Amino acid sequence: MVLNYIWIGFFLVAFAIALVRLCVFGDTDVFPAIMNSTFDTSKTAFEISLGLTGVLSLWLGVMKIGEKGGVVNFLARLLGPVFAKLFPDIPKGHPVVGNIFMNLSANMLGLDNAATPLGLKAMEGMQELNPKKDTASNPMIMFLVLNTSGLTLIPVSVMVYRAQLGAAQPSDVFIPILIATFFSTLAGIVVTSLYQRINLLNRVMLLTLGGMSLFVAAMIWGFSKLDSATMNLVGTNAANILLFLIIMAFILAGVRKRVNVYDAFVEGAKEGFHTAVRIIPYLVAILVAIGVFRASGAMDWAIDGVKAAVTACGFDASWVEALPTAIMKPLSGSGARGMMVDCMTAHGADSFAGRLSCVFQGATDTTFYILAVYFGSVGISRTRHAVACGLLADLAGVLAAIPICYFFFA
């Protein structure tokens, strides 16, 4: 419903501003520009979706090998003690823990669309344990906040979009997204734990969160010792090496379990094709609306207004161009994706704004969409503190992304 109003609003505002430009300023080119944008952006949306098909198929195929090879179950057992502390109301060894981990794994790989069916299955399992069927339970809220915090380790789809739009090194945003999503997820866990009175001051959580914090601090310290050219070289190579090691680890795990890795890969890859086809109409809809909005001049007016205010306060305003992605992300994944693509198209995939929009996209998630779909699937009407915790996690990710991108790309 929210996206419906946003979509209509883009067209109404664009039409009003176009009329002002035509009637007041005599700009006779505005309506031809708007119509040209509808054709151009719909073509761009289809081409991007087509380009996604191969990569989604690749990673869903690799995930299927990992699932059958026991990698997922191994990681679930490894994270069992942490999950027991974050989800104390779920009985130890309950099958829903596996569903939760599968969903979070898909999110970590940046496979947003693949994560949704896994998340719905996890919600069904938690609803069976929920004593109040119309009210969100504590495990449900913690699970959704981990989703909305944008827990992304490998932002596959973001890197694909960058490659499609001509980035010299599509994976150069990998390390910044990893750091930004850490702050978002950490904030989400802390805020939700305070609401639910979960004690984080125990050995397991202190070792886990402390270890993660030290790792991120060491990463930032290490990169701070490098010049910008070396930083980009090291960051890009580290991302590519890690991605390939993950693929090899999943394949070797499948071989060890005597899985037919080829058949498993094909089985998973088929889901990637269907996922890529399903997002075409959504991407066309949002990109056409944004294209009309931009061609009318409305986007420039809004950005210029915010930029003037930021500059008047004495701050650098380079980040403002990417702000629409951050604003849209809690409302709609496809809308934020469209904003990210539009930002890279308008300013260049390797521009500061283009890279920052990618980090915004990877560091946060669609809070309202996730809450609506997941809670709606099990009939939850009372969401308690889920919205507040989800939005605070998003805000932490956005606030972290801006200085991180200045550190890496300014």
DSSP 262-322: HHHHHHHHHHHHHHHHHTHHHHHHHHHHHHHHHHTTHHHHHHHHHHHHHHHTT---GGGGG
Q: Please give, one letter per residue, the 3-state secondary structure of 136-161.
A: CCHHHHHHHHHHHCCCCCCCHHHHHH
Calculate ∠ Cα 6-7-13, nearest 5°. 80
CB 150 within 8 A of CB 363: yes
pTM (2 d.p.):
0.69
Q: How far apart are CA 77 and CA 82, in angstroms?
A: 10
pLDDT the model gives residue 142: 92
pLDDT of amino acid 81: 82
Task: Give the long-range contacts of residues 69-78, CB within 8 A, separation 24 or more.
Answer: 69/250, 69/253, 69/254, 69/255, 69/256, 69/257, 69/259, 69/261, 69/264, 70/253, 70/257, 71/249, 71/250, 71/253, 72/98, 72/101, 72/102, 72/105, 73/98, 75/101, 75/105, 76/101
The tokens for 178 are: 């990893």
Residue 191's pLDDT is 93
According to DSSP, the residues that pair with 135 across neighbouring strands are: 382
Distance CA 86, CA 96 (A): 14
Would you tell me the crossing angle of helices 228-256 and 261-278 to the nearest 10 degrees?
Answer: 120
In DSSP notation, 87-102 reads: -TTSPTT-THHHHHHH
Q: Are 101 and 83 in contact (CB under 8 A)?
A: yes
Cα(51)–Cα(15) distance, integer angstroms: 32
Give the Cα-Cα-Cα angle 156, 160, 163 (nearest 5 degrees): 140
Report the candidate in 187, 108, 195 with the shortest Cα–Cα distance to residue 147.
108
Q: Give the Å distances, CA to CA, from 129 to 177, 199, 401.
A: 35, 22, 37
Q: Do 176 and 408 contact (CB within 8 A), yes or no?
A: yes
Q: What pLDDT, on the 0 to 100 scale, is given for residue 138?
A: 92
Amino acid at 409: F
Nearest to residue 192, comparing CAs of 400, 404, 366, 396? 396
Half-sphere exposure of 289 (CA within 13 A, CB side): 23
Instruction: Give the phi and the psi of residue 237 in degrees, each rounded to 5.
Output: -65, -40
Contact present, 96 and 122 (Cβ < 8 Å):
yes
Per-residue pLDDT of the chain (410 residues; tens, 9 = 90+): 545 777 888 899 999 999 999 999 888 999 999 999 899 888 877 877 777 677 767 877 887 888 788 876 776 677 778 888 888 888 876 777 777 877 777 677 655 555 666 777 788 889 888 888 888 899 999 998 888 886 766 676 787 788 878 888 887 888 888 889 889 988 999 999 999 988 888 888 888 888 888 887 887 788 777 776 676 677 667 767 776 887 898 899 999 999 999 999 998 888 777 766 766 787 788 778 878 887 888 877 887 888 888 888 888 888 888 988 888 787 666 668 888 988 898 889 899 999 999 999 888 877 776 777 778 778 888 888 888 898 899 899 999 999 999 988 87
Tokens 């801006």 locate to 402
